[in-house]
């Protein structure tokens, strides 16, 4: 990929990343195989070329060796990007598995020897909306009309000074029995 492609936050040199979590090296057949390890996830992984004519398709499927070591299981996909800042090409995607509480965002940077270093970066917290405070504070905006104060004190026009606060009905009165004739 080339110019104008977003760098997904991984567009800086690899040494700026929070953590290197693995390395993949080419085997005799030219397939990149290695290990990705964190405190809660550890797997033997390999890159499998993704065949597609779609320019938005991933470049590789990220495959993991199954627990019984008899087959490979897809745990993610990797797209090729180039940094807007440096022009450096890298692979970016996510590792996902039902055993994980959330996907692991990763980037892979090819080294001079042809191997890939796997980097991980914790996502930045989202900015809070004005007036809502941060999510960690659990803050909510003040309520302007709670229903506990008299209607004249409310900053919102309730439509009616008394009653249920829903205003006058515009529906026609029902035909037939009236409340007075039912009570008699």
Predicted local distance difference test score (pLDDT) of residue 1: 42
Q: Which residue has the tokens 């598995």?
A: 97
Confidence of residue 71 (pLDDT cuts 50, 70, 90): very high
Check residue 86 and give its pLDDT: 92
Domain boundaries, given as residue ranges, for the chain:
14-120
Selected residue with higher pLDDT from 64 and 167: 64
* Dihedral sign for Cα atoms in the order 93, 98, 99, 101: positive
- What integer pLDDT is reported at residue 180 of this predicted model? 57
**CB proximity list for 122: less than 8 A, separation 6 or greater:** 18
Phi then psi dihedrals of residue 63, to 5 deg: -110, 145
Distance CA 110, CA 113 (A): 8
Angle at 44 between CA 19 and CA 48, to 5 degrees: 100
Q: What is the mean pLDDT of residues 121-145?
A: 64
pLDDT category of residue 13 using cuts at 50, 70 and 90: very low
In angstroms, rounded to a whole number, what is the distance separating the alpha carbons of residues 94 and 108?
Answer: 11
Mean pLDDT, the chain, rounded, equals 79
Q: Say yes or no to pLDDT of 56 above 70.
A: yes
Determine the average pLDDT of the residues in 157-162: 49
| Confidence (pTM) | 0.60
Query: pLDDT grade, residue 167 (50/70/90)?
Result: confident
Instruction: Give CA–CA dist 5/82, Å, rounded.
Output: 7
Q: Given this model, what pLDDT does residue 24 score?
A: 98
Mean pLDDT of the region 131-153: 60
What is the DSSP secondary structure assignment for residue 97, as one 8-state letter? -
Q: Where does the pLDDT of residue 51 fall: very low under 50, low under 70, confident under 90, or very high at 90 and above? A: very high
Token pair for residue 109?
């940077």
Which pLDDT belongs to residue 142? Answer: 74
**Per-residue model confidence (pLDDT) at position 45:** 98
Strand-pair category, 42-49 with 104-110: unpaired
Confidence check: pLDDT of 128 > 80: no
Contact criterion met (CB below 8 Å) for 46 and 105 = no
What does the pLDDT read at residue 17?
Answer: 46
């Amino acid at each position: 990929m080339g110019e104008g492609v977003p760098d997904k936050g991984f567009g800086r040199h690899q040494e700026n990343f929070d953590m290197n979590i693995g390395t993949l090296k080419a085997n005799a057949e030219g397939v990149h195989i290695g290990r990705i390890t964190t405190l809660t996830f550890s797997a033997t992984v390999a890159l499998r070329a993704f065949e597609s004519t779609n320019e938005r398709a991933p470049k590789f499927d990220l495959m993991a060796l199954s627990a019984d070591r008899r087959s490979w299981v897809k745990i993610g996909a990797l797209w090729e990007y180039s940094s807007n800042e440096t022009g450096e090409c890298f692979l970016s995607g996510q590792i996902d598995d039902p055993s994980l509480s959330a996907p692991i965002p990763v980037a892979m940077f090819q080294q001079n020897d042809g191997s890939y270093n796997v980097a991980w970066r914790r996502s930045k917290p989202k900015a809070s909306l004005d007036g809502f405070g941060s999510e960690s504070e659990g803050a909510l905006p003040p309520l302007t009309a709670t229903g506990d104060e008299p209607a004249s004190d409310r900053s919102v026009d309730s439509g009616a000074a008394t009653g249920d606060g829903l205003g006058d009905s515009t529906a026609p009165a029902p035909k037939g029995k009236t409340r007075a004739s039912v009570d008699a």
